[in-house]
Amino acid sequence: MKNYDVVVIGAGPGGYVAAIRAAQRGARTAVVEYRNLGGVCLNEGCIPTKTLIHTAELYRKLQNAAEFGIEVRDVRVNVRKMLDRKETVIGINTGGIGALFKANGIDLYKGKASIAEAGVVEVNGEKLTAKNTIIATGGRPAQLPGLEFDGTRVIGSTDALNLERIPESVVVIGAGALGTEFACIWNAFGAKVTLVEMMPTILPRSDSEPAKLLERILRKKKIDVRTGTRVEKIERKEDGVTVHFAGGKADSVDAEIVLVAIGLQCNSEIVANSPALNIPLGKRGGIPVNDRMESPVPGIYAIGDVIDRTWLAHGASAEGIVAATNCTGGNAVMDYRVLPACNFSSPELASVGLTEQEAKDQGYTVKTGSFLFAANGRAHTLGSAEGMVKIIGDAATDEILGVHILGPEAGEMIAVGALAMRVEGTVEEIASTIHTHPTLSEALWEAAEDYYGRGIHSKPKK
Amino acid sequence: MHEILLPKMGNSVEEAEIVKWFKKEGDAVETGDPLFSIQTDKAEVECESTASGILRKILVPEGVEVPVLTVVALVGDADEALPDNMGAPSASAPAAQVSAPIAGPAAAAPAAPVSPGTGATGKSPVSPRARKAAEALGINPATLSGSGVGGRVMEQDVLASARSGGAVKITPTARRMAENAGLSVAQLSGTGIGGKITKADIARSLEQGIAQAAPEAKEGIRTVPLSPMRRIIADRMCASKYSAPHYYITVEVDMSAAKNFRAANRGFKVSYNDLVLFATARALRSFPAVNARWCGDFIEELSEVNLGMAVALPTGLIVPVIRNAHLLSLEGLSSTAKALAEKAQTGKLLPDDYQGNSFTVSNLGAFGVDQFTAIINQPDSAILAVGQMKDRAVVIDGGIHIRPVMKLTLSSDHRVIDGAVAAQFMSHLKSILEEGAF
């Protein structure tokens, strides 16, 4: 029996970060993982989808290269090569984690873990004693009754990443981050895409103003966006599916495949299978924890998708650092106030902090400033001048409550908003910061000036 | 149109804050009417109108500090046109709006501006309010460029520097919150990175503030807001007691001779306190080491005896100063003391009346106190505490006698006055009183 200070179950972006931090803090640390290192993020999530999105963008740019004065003939998609490259990128990243484990003296156990009792983790019949256990087992795509994945006609995101061909037509159910991203990928490759969302706007967790603008942009790209629409039923046929809608436009659409992207289910079976722990699970199977990431059982922590909170890789990593700190004698509390996120649609929609509605609901007197990329020089040089920046402030103090960016490189630019919020900046700090010309970031500055009604490149506010 | 100036109240007062306007614009005023009151760094003083007519324009609002001889108001006929350049000053930038400068003692036309630099003696002058604010905020005022006349550093310069993050480490949002709530952040300790004050710190402080500012919630406790005088007393007493190492020497004085002297001179009414003051002034003339000031790197022994006398007021106390007390006859000293006491009681003291003391006498005899120790009234180095005169049984030459006895206690700053010196001084004072040689 091996003894550890910290045993981390799951080597995704939550678990592997937690393990490294625990080892850095001097804990004897082990990680248990039954699949490749890196979790969904590296293997079926963030990294592979972004690889495909970049490829799709490149393809679209090549198709439009003539506009830029470059004539390219016979642009074709080689799906096999595309998937190979994706695997190469994944391999580089997962290999990196293995090397980091070695460098930090972390023992890796390959296999499925179970918790026999609090403080004992079992893997491949071997028992590890753990003063502290961090459960970081992640989540998986949720399935709808009647919409179960069959791997060919009705698929989830994991299948979608490994499709050997570009489908001619596809219905995407769920316009959250994942659904919208795949809709944009297939749209770029020329598929006929129908994007269905039950809520009144796509990306329902985003601020409605940029979300609605994105909806218009996607429609212009010929994506059939149907908001406020439910799926009545799916008919599986030999050569495809027929999806019947209710709500919005009550008709049906034939498609080659259906992608179901309606959220995630927590991989909390490790707790469910350990009744001795007596931890009640939430809806979607979330393990309940406090903001120190402690479960109701002393010495057992949980982080990431399995606690059903942020559904973000960097959220899981931040939680992992909090958990690792607390189980090695530290005292950290997870602060979710500044947690940026990016939807890698085209264009990207990134945000940090509150939406305008959330700010109002929390009782703030809300003031906003916004700016369209249509008036940004750099955006035009890139040939992507669609989108906007919106800043939400507290009228009493001008504190930045939220920043929402729809446009090229929004995911990169949002870091500035996050930093500004982290240091409790006011909109005035952004407005008084000199921004580089010509860059996309100038749009953020203009939005800050617009907040005070003095934008340089926007019409005076009436 | 007559200009009403902030009066010049002796050489030591360079500026004052207008505390209250007793009249508002449009009111009729007569020469001699109380028009406004000012707060210097020592006391609140009422100022009279120097013209009759209608108060047309108040140029310096309440709560703003300006140099002496600044035009603070205009009095004229109801229909007289106001000069063009007399715009309404905004409270946020008062000093810039006030055109009148600090005039030199010989200035014949007080409203004539002194060109910047004439007042500067090497480094920029700092207004007392600015110095106070700077201390509270932990800013070195010498590093600031002043917006006042002659580059004088004004309070607003210090506050502006604090706002721009010159001193306290605070997040921008927290600073705005504090400003909105009128909360001073100088005393707060931050919980952010490197002790930075964050939103949460301000929120916590405001919550505590609200809890404290609910006196009615506490049964049996009355919350008394601090008057300016109370603040001054608190500041000065703390400064003295915390900086000067006090020690105390008490002597018993047989006041028979003094009693006889009073009986023999019924012609003019001299009080026992007058006699003590007179004897003290004379004793100090022989002991310049007791009539001295601690100056950090050196000690100043003063040849002039400027004798402070503590006067109790309903709201606190004030110490008017008998100037050149060592040169005054007993009659002169007595009448000066009486006049000052009267002025003190009626709030008519001018700053020169209560500044420049070199030694102070405090008498609680009238309240039946036998003996007490007093806190030194800085910049003095000693203070004499006078108890009541009472008949006591004393042994003289083996016999028991009834004598009027007064106990005098000297509090001394040991940095300046050693015990033996203080003892010799008290012995000398005692002999003057006991000999009755007034």
CATH of the domain at A358: 3.30.390.30
Judged against a pLDDT cut of 80, whether residue A164 lies above it is answered with yes
Mutate to test the interface with A, among B171, B173, B176, B206 (most CBs of A within 10 A): B173
Contact B391, B403 (CB under 8 A): yes
The answer on A160 and A254 residing in a single domain is: yes
The answer on B258 and B303 residing in a single domain is: yes
Q: Do A423 and B172 touch (CB under 8 A)?
A: yes
Q: So what's the pLDDT on residue B117? A: 37
The answer on A416 and A385 residing in a single domain is: yes
Nearest to B174 among A396, A398, A424 (CB): A424
Q: Which residues of B touch A424 (CB under 8 A)?
A: 171-174, 198-199
Nearest to B171 among A398, A424, A428 (CB): A424
Residue-wise pLDDT for B166-201, tens only, equals 557 899 999 888 888 777 787 788 888 888 899 999
Q: Which residues of A touch B176 (CB under 8 A)?
A: 396-399, 426
Domain ends where: B216, B241, B262?
B216
Total domains, chain A: 3
Q: Is B171 on the interface with A (CB under 8 A)?
A: yes
Our answer to whether residue B414 is catalytic in this structure is yes
The answer on A96 and A160 residing in a single domain is: no
Q: How confident is the prediction for chain B on average, in pLDDT?
A: 82
Mutate to test the interface with B, among A419, A424, A432 (most CBs of B within 10 A): A424
Residue-wise pLDDT for B202-237, tens only, equals 988 888 876 555 555 567 887 777 777 787 888 889
Provide the shortest C-alpha distance from residue B162 to chain A (in Å): 16
The answer on B240 and B199 residing in a single domain is: no
Q: Is residue A317 part of a domain?
A: yes
The answer on B145 and B54 residing in a single domain is: no
Q: Is residue B224 part of a domain?
A: no
CATH of the domain at A251: 3.50.50.60
Longest Cα–Cα distance of chain A, Å, equals 74
Angle ∠(A184,A185,A190) on CA atoms, nearest 5: 95
Q: So what's the pLDDT on residue B190? A: 86
Residue-wise pLDDT for B40-75, tens only, equals 766 778 888 888 899 998 888 887 888 888 888 989
Count residue pairs from A and B with Cβ separation < 8 A.
28
Q: Which residues of A touch B173 (CB under 8 A)?
A: 397-399, 424-426
Q: Is residue B102 part of a domain?
A: no
Q: Is residue B122 part of a domain?
A: no
CATH of the domain at B82: 2.40.50.100
The answer on B170 and B44 residing in a single domain is: no
Q: Is B197 on the interface with A (CB under 8 A)?
A: no
Q: Is B163 on the interface with A (CB under 8 A)?
A: no
Catalytic residues of A: 437
Total domains, chain B: 3
Distance of alpha carbon B259 from the chain centroid: 35
**Helix (DSSP H) and strand (DSSP E) numbers for chain A:** 14, 22
- Cis peptide bond upstream of A438, omega within 30: yes
Nearest to B199 among A398, A424, A429 (CB): A424
Q: Which residues of A touch B177 (CB under 8 A)?
A: 397
Q: Which of B79, B370, B418, B428 is catalytic?
A: B418
Q: Is residue A460 part of a domain?
A: no
Domain ends where: A262, A285, A311?
A262
Q: What is the mean pLDDT of residues A198-208?
A: 95
The answer on A110 and A8 residing in a single domain is: yes
Q: Is B337 on the interface with A (CB under 8 A)?
A: no
The answer on B139 and B61 residing in a single domain is: no
The answer on A191 and A116 residing in a single domain is: no
Provide the shortest C-alpha distance from residue B245 to chain A (in Å): 46
Domain ends where: B165, B186, B216?
B216
- Per the structure, the complete domain to which residue B193 belongs is given by 128-216
Amino acid type, B32: G
Phi and psi at residue A200, to the nearest 5°: -70, -20
Q: Which of A82-96, A267-281, B31-45, B252-266 has the lowest mean pLDDT?
A: B31-45
Q: Is B198 on the interface with A (CB under 8 A)?
A: yes
Q: If you compute the radius of gyration of chain A from its CA atoms, what whole number of angstroms results?
A: 23
Q: So what's the pLDDT on residue B146? A: 76
The answer on A354 and A304 residing in a single domain is: no
Mutate to test the interface with B, among A394, A397, A398 (most CBs of B within 10 A): A397
Q: Do A424 and B180 touch (CB under 8 A)?
A: no
Q: Is residue A341 part of a domain?
A: no
Q: Is A265 on the interface with B (CB under 8 A)?
A: no
Residue A401: closest C-alpha in chain B: B173
Provide the shortest C-alpha distance from residue B137 to chain A (in Å): 21
Provide the shortest C-alpha distance from residue B195 to chain A (in Å): 13
Q: Do A399 and B176 touch (CB under 8 A)?
A: yes
Q: Do A425 and B173 touch (CB under 8 A)?
A: yes
Q: Is residue A331 part of a domain?
A: no
3-class DSSP state for residue A189? coil
Q: So what's the pLDDT on residue B13? A: 72
Q: So what's the pLDDT on residue B213? A: 52
Provide the shortest C-alpha distance from residue B174 to chain A (in Å): 7
Q: So what's the pLDDT on residue A53? A: 95
Q: Is A181 on the interface with B (CB under 8 A)?
A: no
The answer on A127 and A102 residing in a single domain is: yes
Q: So what's the pLDDT on residue B217? A: 54
Domain ends where: B76, B97, B118?
B97
The confidence band for B96, taking pLDDT boundaries of 50, 70 and 90, is: very low
Q: Tally Cβ neighbours within 10 Å of residue A302.
A: 31
Q: Is residue B225 part of a domain?
A: no
Torsion, Cα A34 A35 A37 A40, to 10 degrees, reads: -120
The answer on B77 and B135 residing in a single domain is: no
The answer on B389 and B337 residing in a single domain is: yes
Judged against a pLDDT cut of 70, whether residue A147 lies above it is answered with yes
Judged against a pLDDT cut of 60, whether residue A309 lies above it is answered with yes
Q: Do A397 and B176 touch (CB under 8 A)?
A: yes
More confident position, A26 or B107: A26
Q: Is residue A149 part of a domain?
A: no
Q: Which of A292-296, A358-362, B107-111, B321-325 has the lowest mean pLDDT?
A: B107-111
Q: Do B171 and A423 touch (CB under 8 A)?
A: yes
On whether ipTM exceeds 0.85, the answer is no
The answer on A159 and A99 residing in a single domain is: no
Residue A397: closest C-alpha in chain B: B176
The answer on A272 and A258 residing in a single domain is: no
Q: Tally Cβ neighbours within 10 Å of residue B279.
A: 26
Phi and psi at residue A68, to the nearest 5°: -90, 5
Q: Is residue B256 part of a domain?
A: yes
The answer on B257 and B234 residing in a single domain is: yes
Nearest to B177 among A397, A423, A425 (CB): A397
Q: Is residue A334 part of a domain?
A: no
Judged against a pLDDT cut of 70, whether residue B164 lies above it is answered with no
End-to-end CA distance of chain A: 74
Q: So what's the pLDDT on residue A439? A: 97
The answer on B407 and B325 residing in a single domain is: yes
Q: Is residue A332 part of a domain?
A: no
pLDDT above 70 covers a percentage of chain A that reads: 100
CATH of the domain at B199: 4.10.320.10
Torsion, Cα A127 A35 A177 A142, to 10 degrees, reads: -70
Angle ∠(B260,B263,B269) on CA atoms, nearest 5: 125
Domain ends where: A281, A297, A326?
A326
The answer on B362 and B241 residing in a single domain is: yes
Mutate to test the interface with A, among B170, B176, B183, B193 (most CBs of A within 10 A): B176
The answer on A272 and A256 residing in a single domain is: no
The answer on A134 and A10 residing in a single domain is: yes
Q: Is A398 on the interface with B (CB under 8 A)?
A: yes
Residue-wise pLDDT for A90-105, tens only, equals 999 999 999 999 999 9
Domain ends where: A262, A278, A308?
A262
The answer on B405 and B301 residing in a single domain is: yes
Q: How confident is the prediction for chain A on average, in pLDDT?
A: 95
- Per the structure, the complete domain to which residue A181 belongs is given by 154-262
The answer on B259 and B367 residing in a single domain is: yes
Q: Is A426 on the interface with B (CB under 8 A)?
A: yes
Residue A158 has which token pair?
């994991």
Return the closest-CA partner of residue A261 out of A193, A351, A356, A208. Answer: A193
Q: Which residues of A touch B198 (CB under 8 A)?
A: 424
Contact B43, B349 (CB under 8 A): yes
CA dihedral sign of residues B370, B375, B377, B381: positive
The answer on A23 and A129 residing in a single domain is: yes
CATH of the domain at B427: 3.30.559.10
Residue A399: closest C-alpha in chain B: B173
Q: Which residues of A touch B172 (CB under 8 A)?
A: 399, 423-426, 428-429
More confident position, B136 or B196: B196
Q: Is residue A457 part of a domain?
A: no
Phi and psi at residue A240, to the nearest 5°: 160, -155
Residue B193: closest C-alpha in chain A: A423
Q: Give the best-scoring range by mean pLDDT among A143-157, A448-462, B286-300.
A: B286-300
